[in-house]
Copies of this chain bind each other. A is one copy, B any other.
Amino acid sequence: MERFAPTARTTLKRLPKRAEYDRERVYAILDEAFICHVGFVADHHPVVIPTGYGRIGDVLYIHGSAASRMLRTLGEGVDVCVTVTLVDGLVLARSAFHHSFNYRSVVVFGRARLVTDRDEKMAALRAFTEHVIAGRWDEVREPNDTELKATTVLALPLEEASAKIRTGPPIDDDADHALPVWAGVLPLHLANGEPITDEQLRPGIRLSQSVREYRRPRQNGK
Contacts and interface: CB of A to CB of B under 8 A. Distances in A.
A39 interface: yes
A143 B96 contact: yes
B50 A83 contact: yes
A69 interface: yes
A123 interface: no
B202 A178 contact: yes
Contact of A188 (B13, B40, B105, B192): B192
Contacts of A219: none
Chain A interface size band reads 35 or more
Given A95-B147, A96-B142, A180-B205, 7 more contacts: A13-B69, A40-B46, A48-B48, A94-B140, A96-B136, A99-B132, A169-B199
19 contacts: A9-B47, A37-B83, A37-B85, A39-B48, A41-B41, A92-B136, A94-B141, A95-B143, A95-B147, A96-B136, A96-B137, A99-B132, A139-B182, A169-B200, A181-B205, A185-B195, A185-B196, A186-B193, A189-B193
